[in-house]
Amino acid sequence: MKLFWRGSDYNLILEKILDSKYFSSNSKSLLLSMIYKLEEFYKDYQLVKNIDTTKDEFLDLVLDTIKKYCDNLKLIEPEEADILKKNNVLALTNEKERSILCYPTEIALLYAISDIAPKYFYITDSFEYKNSLQRTLVNGYNANNVEILSDFNGWSWDINVNHKYHIEDNLIYQNFVIMFGNLFMEEWKSNSIKDDDSFQNVKKYFSKTGYFETLCRYLVFNLTPKEKAKTNKELDSKIKELEKISDKLVYFEEIKQSKLKYLKELEKITILLNDKELMRKEYLAKNSKLPSEKRIATIGTYKKMLDNRKEKIVEEISRLTSEMNPINYMNKKRDLEKFIEINSENKVGKEEIIIKLQEEFIKALKDNTYETDDIESLKNLIFKIRYYKYLYINEKAQIKDIKTLNDEVNIVLKQIIKKLISAGTIKKIANDEELNLEIITNILDTKVIDLSLLKFEISVKENEIKVKTYEKEVFEKEFELNGKFLKKNFDVKQGKIYKLFV
C-alpha cells in the first residue's frame, strides 16, 4: 500500500511529519539519520535475506508508525539509563501514551519504532501457549527490523552478536520468514480480527515434522509465573483425566450410562413439548414445589426452558457419541499424553530444545526441497539457507558452528545444488559428483551481499585444490580441499574466473 509519494526523498517526508511533533532537535536529527541509513542499507538487507518486502514498503511502515503512533520521544544517555538497564532493553515504549524512551542511537530508535507499531499475530484462543508465542513473534519481529542497521553498513554484511536481541525468539521468527515469506509474516502481524488462518497454516505445515511440538516445549520455558501457575493447574486436571480414560472398558461404560441418562431425559422433554395439557400439568406441579420468588412466570417461559434444555441435551449426546468413536478416543488420549509430556518437569534444558527445534526445521526445509523442482524457488532457497547458517542460535554460536545442524543443512543445500546443476542454473565444476558438491557448498559459505554475483577460480594439484571466490571482480576468500585429484576430472579451466550462477 502506498502511503507516501515516491517523488520526494524520505528525509523530506520525515521532516514534514516532524513539523507536527514536539520532539527535541536531537531526537529529530537522530530520526533523520536513521531514515537515511535505512534507505542506504535496506537494499543489501533485502538481497541477503531474499525477502519480497521492498524498501519503499518498509520505509512507508516506519514513517506511518512515527506519524500515527509516536507523539513523545525522549533520548537518554547511557549514564542516566537506569530504567533501561534494569529492564535490559534498548528502549521502553508505551502504546497508550504513544511514547518512546530509548538510548540515543539509530538502532535503539528503530527497535522502539518497531516495538510501538501495532502488532497482533492473532492466535487461536484455545492454544495453550498463545501469549508466549505472541511474545516470541513480537520479539522476533523487532529483532528482524533492527538487523537492517546492526548488520549492514552500506557495503558489507557484518554480523555482530553484541547487537543481537532476543536471539532465540529471532531464530524462531526467521524460521517462519524462511518457510512462509516476509509478506506472510507482515499480514499475520496486521491480523487484528479473529481470523486464525495464519496460525493454522503454520501449525498444519509444521505438523509434517516434530517442529510444532518442539516449539511448544520452547514456549513453556517462556511462560510468565501467572501463565505457568495456570498451566500447572491444567496439567493436574489433564493427568486426572488421562488416568480416568486409561481404563478403556470403564471409561466407555461411563459414557454409555451418561448417554442413556440423557436419552431418557430427552424422551421425557419431547413428550412434554408435544402434549400441551401434559406440559401444563408439569408446569403447575413444578411451580407448586417452588417458593414464590422462584416460580416460573408463565407456561411460555417454561416451554422456552424445555426447548433450551433439549438443545443442550442433544449437544451432550452428540459429544458423548463422538467420544465413543475409537479414533477420537485415541486422539484424545494422545493429546492428553502430549500435553502432560510437554508440561511436566523437563530434564532437557532450553538450549537443547532450541537445537532440537532447528533439527526439526531443517527436516521441514528438506521436505520443501524434495517437493519442488521450480528453479526460481530452489535458487531463492539457496539464498535463504546461506542466511540461515549465519543466524545466531545463542550468544556464542551460529547455526553453522553447530556441527550436527551444519551437516544436515549442507545435505539440503547439496540436494538443491544438484537440481540447479541439472537445470543449468549453477556451473558444474567437477565430474565427480561428491567433489563437485563439496566445492560449491564451500563457495556458498560466504558473506557476499549478492550471491548471484559470486565468481570462482580454481587451481588443481595432484593432492590439493585451491579455490578463490570473488564478488564481481573483487577477491572475497580462498579455501583449499585436500585429497587425490586429477586435472581431467574438472569441467572448468584452471586460472579462469567463472560465474557460479549461469
Q: Please report which confidence band the pLDDT of residue 141 belongs to, taking 50, 70 and 90 as the band edges.
A: very high
- Rounded to the nearest integer, the mean pLDDT of the chain is 90
SS3 457: strand
pLDDT at 93: 95
Phi-psi region of 164 (alpha: psi -120 to 50; beta: other; left: phi over 0): beta
Residue 464: strand pairing partners: 461, 482
Cβ pair 489, 432 in contact under 8 A:
yes
Q: What percent of the chain is modeled with pLDDT above 90?
A: 65
DSSP one-letter string for 217-247: HHHHHT--HHHHHHHHHHHHHHHHHHHHHHS
Closest Cα partner for 110 from 78, 141, 68?
141
* SS3 of 322-362: HHCCHHHHHHHHHHHHHHHHHHCCCCCCHHHHHHHHHHHHH
Closest Cα partner for 451 from 35, 41, 48, 5?
48
SS3 456: strand
pTM here is 0.84
Q: What percent of the chain is modeled with pLDDT above 70?
A: 97
Task: Measure the CA–CA gap between 34 and 73, rounded to whole angstroms.
Answer: 14
Strands across the sheet with 91-94, in order? 72-75, 99-102, 91-94
Which residues does 473 contact at the CB level (< 8 Å), separation at least 6?
455, 497
Phi-psi region of 402 (alpha: psi -120 to 50; beta: other; left: phi over 0): beta
Indicate if the pLDDT at residue 5 is higher than 60. no
pLDDT at 193: 63
Cβ pair 365, 380 in contact under 8 A:
no
Indicate if the pLDDT at residue 220 is higher than 60. yes
Q: Please report which confidence band the pLDDT of residue 196 belongs to, taking 50, 70 and 90 as the band edges.
A: confident
